[in-house]
């Protein structure tokens, strides 16, 4: 013990006098008790759920805080061979679009449902950036239960942000595109033929079901991010815009010319009035609406062909523009709803706008001009003030509910804490490296839970064991309960996280679904017990009605199937106990396995191409006799006279 | 024969009435714990049916070849309702008679009933544990397992518990009242001679 202390002291001394060519960084600025603050003892639960976007993996990750442990990868827009999502016959319709089956997307942002601007955590919404869609995840089952495609949109980045009672989830188009009947136009007719559309998707307060209520036609800008007004600004929505230069090539330069772009403020209560008064125009479009049914354990996809569009050029008092320096990325409203923060990527300051001043400027017609008939407010009239010298490359702002804002600085790789009223910078901490989004539990709501802040970084470089050219993405957890932000933990993440939300685990952990009651299973292929296990032939279709229960499949010997038959394995997991899924895989099938939850029915389709005997087995280690949970299907040449036969437990 | 005091007669009535909850509370419980069942599996036996994790217990027990537990396994469910009704009737009658022999008879009846129930439970446990399917995946040593009658017992990875549940505890409380009545009655005896 003594010797160790001497060695440590000697080491520290040597390090202190060692000539370094690199200045001492904050990498060493971890204080002693950080480990105990993130330690969740074995068997204990984390305090918060963190629902994290997966970016280009198209999924969401469920992470526990403060430990940073990944609890689940939740498939949303990308197929997931691990549990058959997008591969089973029942789940395929979830990924249907007006362009057909799309197996992948890019999920950037999360919105957790709220009531009165506070988390109720019933649903998590996520956006598909590439083929514009919004998904709704049920947080009682951690399952994607609905996906709606967004017509007239491209690059669904300004999405899915929600109003304070989850009345609407919005989708603003990042890429403006030609819409309507003729979309085959020269690209250089951008200013005339391209349009930006903002979609307001109504959410049923009981079921959560989505439906596009209306779209607002907007100028062909790039719509980047958005936040709803809340509390005093409830009824308004704020969208950041860039490329107000309306360039269609080399945007890096051409969209960075103007000193100010805009935050577009939409009075959606006014829009509702116009909809009610029948002022919208029905436009012909095509989009898919996919729903998962928890009783039939299957999805349906419907193609819809109409959307209601409001034109703010004609319909006044609905859309206003607030000038905002320069190419704003995030626009965020503080917990009171009074302040709107615009984070201009290329701006040297952070402008903070006042909702009260905005209303006053609108009332006084304090306009500096207009855009196709929509008023542009005077910057100074709406401005509460500017945060000076915040850092370089402000992107996103979150709030702690104690009067402070936290802004991520992409270029200078730091988080800056500032006072919303006085606009003074009170603290700054480095991130490793190039921070994108920030997340504070409850941060975007009217009642932040505070305590922690997570920075989702874009670059990790030397922070972890290297894994070749492609490195892990990283998150960093900070304690924000004191005056100074304190780095507690680095943890690797899945995919490329963009936005994330966190909320107290106590909101949902006691209402988790443990299994599906068999008596409520309304799948047309369900088996309620082992008695009905059977095989039926319909032309060249073979339907295997199969049960799985520890530790057997029924039937497990099947003959009389021919090359080229369409074989459907309809497998019902008869277990009625928590944490007893059964898997199902058959040799040579050109699809993924099924992972069937207790009480669920799932279907794997397989067209055998060669004769032989094909084993199938349970892929989820379910019991002591899991390795015995297997069976055989005999496939014979087409035209041979092997009779259809199936059995379980019969020996010769 | 000696007449009972009013209080002792009331004690008989209360004891008879404590049999009523047997119709709407579970009488017996069997619980199982294993490392992978930290929350435990619990089965309750009522006057005419079973409830709780019966299916899960069957799922676990089939590995050692135990019979499928179900309501049909207990013919007692057919007549237990009448037996208890008869005992309540006898209790009320004993209250009406109000003589020492009635008190002793009622106590004797309840004690006999309790002993018969325990004997029946033991018999059922023996049947259940000694007729294991010889083709079962796991062979239990000696091909027999007697579940605990009352208390705890270990088998393989499971710890099993068996014991009275709400209805029986109330009934046991009722019997205690009868013992109390008997003791009171015996203490009064010398003064009566």
**Domain-located, residue A73:** yes
Determine the distance from the C-alpha atom of residue B102 to the mean position of all C-alpha atoms in its chain, rounded to a whole number: 23
Which whole-number Å values give the CA distances from A329 to A240, A342, A350, A437, in the listed order?
Answer: 6, 7, 11, 11
Considering only CA atoms, which of A628, A634, A574 is closest in space to residue A608? A634
pLDDT at position B193 over 50: no
**Same domain for A243 and A331?**
yes
**Same domain for A152 and A273?**
yes
Whether residue A625 and residue B55 make contact (CB cut-off 8 A), yes or no, is no
* B window 120-139, beta carbon within 8 A of A: 137-138
Q: What's the rounded Cα separation, in Å, for the pair B22 and B166?
A: 8
User: What is the model's pLDDT at position B190?
Assistant: 52
Contact A614, A635 (CB under 8 A): yes
Residues in B touching A577 (Cβ below 8 Å): 53, 55-56, 59
**Domain-located, residue A42:** no
| Closest residue to A576, CB basis, from B55, B137, B138 | B55
**Same domain for A167 and A209?**
yes
**Same domain for A357 and A214?**
yes
Contact A285, A309 (CB under 8 A): no
**Domain-located, residue A624:** yes
The domain spans of chain B are 6-188
| Closest residue to B56, CB basis, from A577, A625, A628 | A577
**Domain-located, residue A627:** yes
User: What is the model's pLDDT at position A12?
Assistant: 55
**Same domain for A310 and A407?**
yes
Q: What's the rounded Cα separation, in Å, for the pair A67 and A47?
A: 9
Q: What's the rounded Cα separation, in Å, for the pair A148 and A363?
A: 37
Considering only CA atoms, which of A439, A454, A496 is closest in space to residue A471? A496
Whether residue A576 and residue B137 make contact (CB cut-off 8 A), yes or no, is no
Considering only CA atoms, which of A619, A570, A613 is closest in space to residue A588? A613
Q: Does B58 touch chain A (CB under 8 A)?
A: no
End-to-end CA distance of chain A: 72
Whether residue A576 and residue B63 make contact (CB cut-off 8 A), yes or no, is no
- Tell me which chain A residue has its CA closest to the CA of residue B137: A625
φ, ψ for residue A421, nearest 5 deg: -70, -55
CATH of the domain at A154: 2.130.10.10
User: What is the model's pLDDT at position B186?
Assistant: 86
**Domain-located, residue A282:** yes
Domain of residue A286 covers: 48-248+255-511
Q: Does A624 touch chain B (CB under 8 A)?
A: yes
* A window 59-118, beta carbon within 8 A of B: none
**Same domain for A530 and A634?**
yes
At A276, which helix (H) or strand (E)? helix A268-276
φ, ψ for residue A283, nearest 5 deg: -115, 145
Residues in B touching A625 (Cβ below 8 Å): 63, 137
Who's near A336: CB < 8 A, 6+ residues apart?
A231, A232, A446
User: What is the model's pLDDT at position A1?
Assistant: 45
Q: Does A626 touch chain B (CB under 8 A)?
A: no
Total-model pTM: 0.90
Looking at the DSSP bridge assignments, the partners of residue A289 are A148, A302
**Same domain for A428 and A559?**
no
| pLDDT digit string, tens, across residues A386-413 | 999 999 999 999 999 999 999 999 999 9
Who's near A424: CB < 8 A, 6+ residues apart?
A418
- In the block, residue with structure tokens 């088998």: B155
- The shortest C-alpha distance from B159 to chain A (Å) reads 18
Secondary structure (H, E, C), A571-619: EEECCCCCCCCEEEEECCCCCCCEEECCCCEEEEEECCCCCEEEEEECC
User: What is the model's pLDDT at position A47?
Assistant: 97
| Closest residue to A550, CB basis, from B53, B59, B138 | B59
Strand spans (E) along chain B: 28-34, 37-45, 50-52, 151-155, 158-164
φ, ψ for residue A338, nearest 5 deg: -80, -35
The segments of chain A whose pLDDT lies below 70 read 1-32
**Domain-located, residue A259:** yes
Residue that finishes a domain, picked among A472, A492, A511:
A511
Determine the distance from the C-alpha atom of residue A498 to the mean position of all C-alpha atoms in its chain, rounded to a whole number: 9
Whether residue B59 and residue A624 make contact (CB cut-off 8 A), yes or no, is no
What share of chain B in percent tops pLDDT 90? Answer: 66
**Domain-located, residue A476:** yes
From the candidates B58, B59, B63, B138, which should be mutated to test the interface with A, based on the most A CB atoms within 10 A?
B59
The residue that leads in pLDDT, B92 or B188, is B92
Give the count of domains, chain A: 2
Q: How many CB atoms lie within 10 A of CB A115?
A: 13
Residues in A touching B138 (Cβ below 8 Å): 624
CATH of the domain at A616: 2.60.40.420
**Domain-located, residue A430:** yes
Who's near A119: CB < 8 A, 6+ residues apart?
A112, A113, A442, A445, A447, A503, A504, A507
Burial tier of A531 (Cβ tally within 10 Å: 0-12, 13-18, 19+): exposed
Cis, bond preceding A555 (omega within 30 deg of 0): yes
**Same domain for A450 and A535?**
no
Residue that finishes a domain, picked among A482, A511, A540:
A511
Burial tier of A104 (Cβ tally within 10 Å: 0-12, 13-18, 19+): middle
- In the block, residue with structure tokens 């015995």: A628
- The shortest C-alpha distance from B136 to chain A (Å) reads 12
**Same domain for A269 and A193?**
yes
Residue that finishes a domain, picked among A493, A511, A529:
A511
**Same domain for A494 and A369?**
yes
List the structure tokens of A603. 């279907």
**Same domain for A468 and A411?**
yes
pLDDT at position B142 over 90: no
Q: Does B55 touch chain A (CB under 8 A)?
A: yes
Pairing of strands A298-310, A210-218: parallel
Mean pLDDT in residue range B161-171: 94
φ, ψ for residue A160, nearest 5 deg: -105, 95
List the structure tokens of A325. 């320096």
φ, ψ for residue A360, nearest 5 deg: -65, -45
**Same domain for A489 and A536?**
no
Determine the distance from the C-alpha atom of residue A20 to the mean position of all C-alpha atoms in its chain, rounded to a whole number: 44
Q: What's the rounded Cα separation, in Å, for the pair A108 and A110?
A: 7
């Amino acid at each position: 013990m003594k010797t160790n202390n001497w060695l440590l002291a000697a080491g520290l001394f040597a390090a202190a006098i060692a000539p370094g060519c690199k200045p001492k960084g904050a990498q060493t600025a971890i204080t002693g008790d950080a480990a105990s603050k993130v330690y969740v003892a074995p068997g204990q639960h984390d305090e918060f759920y963190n629902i994290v976007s997966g970016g280009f993996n198209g999924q969401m990750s469920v992470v526990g805080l403060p430990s940073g442990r990944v609890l689940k990868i939740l498939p949303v827009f990308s197929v997931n061979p691990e549990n058959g999502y997008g591969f089973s016959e029942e789940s395929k319709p979830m990924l249907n679009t007006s362009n057909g089956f799309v197996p992948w997307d890019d999920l950037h942002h999360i919105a957790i449902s709220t009531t009165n601007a506070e988390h109720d955590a019933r649903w998590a919404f996520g956006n598909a950036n590439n083929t514009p869609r919004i998904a709704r995840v049920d947080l009682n089952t951690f399952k994607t239960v609905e996906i709606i495609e967004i017509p007239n949109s491209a690059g669904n980045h300004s999405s899915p942000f929600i109003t304070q009672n989850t009345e609407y989830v919005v989708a603003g188009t990042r890429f403006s595109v030609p819409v309507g009947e003729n979309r085959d136009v020269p690209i250089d007719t951008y200013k005339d033929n391209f349009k930006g559309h903002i979609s307001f998707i109504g959410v049923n307060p009981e079921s959560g079901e989505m439906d596009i209520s209306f779209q607002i036609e907007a100028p062909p800008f790039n719509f980047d991010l958005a936040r709803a007004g809340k509390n005093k600004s409830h009824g308004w929505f704020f969208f950041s815009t860039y490329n107000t230069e309306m360039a269609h090539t080399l945007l890096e330069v051409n969209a960075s010319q103007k000193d100010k772009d805009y935050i577009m403020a939409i009075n959606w209560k006014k829009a509702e009035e116009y909809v009610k008064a029948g002022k919208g125009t029905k436009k012909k479009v095509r989009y898919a609406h996919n729903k998962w049914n928890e009783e039939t354990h299957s999805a349906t996809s419907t193609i819809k062909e109409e959307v209601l569009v409001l034109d703010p050029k004609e319909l006044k008092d609905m859309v206003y523009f607030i000038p905002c320096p320069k190419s704003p990325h995030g626009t965020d409203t503080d917990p009171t709803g009074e302040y709107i923060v615009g984070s201009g990527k290329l701006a040297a300051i952070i402008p903070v706008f006042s909702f009260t001043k905005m209303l006053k400027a609108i009332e006084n017609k304090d306009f500096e001009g207009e855009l196709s008939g929509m008023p542009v407010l005077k910057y100074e009239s709406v401005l509460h003030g500017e945060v000076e010298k915040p850092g370089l490359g402000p992107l996103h702002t979150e709030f702690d509910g104690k009067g402070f804002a936290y802004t991520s600085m992409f270029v200078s790789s730091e988080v800056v804490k500032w006072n919303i009223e006085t606009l003074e910078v009170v603290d700054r901490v480095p991130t490793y490296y190039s921070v994108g989004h920030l997340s504070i539990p409850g941060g975007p709501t009217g009642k932040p839970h505070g305590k922690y802040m997570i920075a989702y970084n874009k670059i990790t470089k030397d922070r972890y064991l290297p894994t070749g050219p492609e490195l892990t993405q990283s998150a960093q957890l900070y304690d924000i309960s004191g005056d100074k932000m304190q780095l507690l933990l680095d943890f690797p993440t899945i995919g490329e996280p963009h936005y994330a939300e966190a909320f107290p685990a106590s909101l949902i952990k006691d209402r988790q679904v443990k299994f599906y009651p068999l008596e409520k299973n309304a799948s047309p292929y369900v088996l309620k017990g082992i008695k009905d296990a059977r095989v039926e032939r319909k032309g060249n279709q073979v339907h295997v009605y199969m049960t799985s229960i520890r530790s057997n499949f029924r039937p497990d010997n099947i003959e009389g199937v021919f090359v080229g038959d369409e074989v459907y394995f309809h497998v019902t997991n008869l277990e009625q106990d928590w944490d007893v899924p059964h898997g199902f895989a058959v040799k040579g099938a050109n699809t993924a396995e099924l992972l069937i939850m207790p009480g669920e029915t799932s279907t794997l389709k397989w067209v055998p191409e060669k004769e032989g005997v094909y084993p199938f087995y349970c892929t989820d280690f379910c019991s002591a006799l899991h390795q015995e949970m297997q069976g055989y299907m005999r496939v014979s040449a087409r035209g041979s006279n092997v009779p259809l036969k199936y059995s379980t437990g019969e020996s010769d | 024969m000696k007449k009972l005091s009013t209080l002792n007669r009331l004690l008989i009535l209360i004891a008879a009435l404590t049999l009523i909850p047997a119709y709407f509370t579970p009488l017996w419980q069997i619980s199982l714990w294993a490392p992978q069942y930290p929350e435990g599996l619990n089965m309750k036996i009522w006057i005419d049916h079973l409830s709780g994790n019966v299916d899960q217990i069957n799922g676990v027990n089939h590995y050692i070849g135990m019979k499928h537990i179900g309501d049909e396994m207990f013919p007692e469910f057919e007549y237990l309702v009448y037996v208890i009704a008869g005992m309540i009737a006898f209790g009320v009658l004993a209250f009406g008679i109000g003589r020492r022999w009635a008190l002793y008879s009622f106590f004797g009846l309840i004690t006999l009933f309790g002993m018969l129930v325990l004997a029946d439970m033991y018999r059922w446990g023996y049947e259940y544990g000694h007729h294991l399917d010889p083709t079962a995946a796991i062979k239990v040593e000696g091909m027999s397992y007697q579940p605990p009658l009352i208390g705890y017992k270990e088998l393989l990875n499971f710890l099993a518990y068996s014991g009275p549940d709400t209805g029986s505890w109330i009934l046991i409380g009722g019997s205690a009242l009868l013992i109390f009545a008997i003791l009171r009655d015996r203490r009064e005896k010398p003064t009566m001679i």
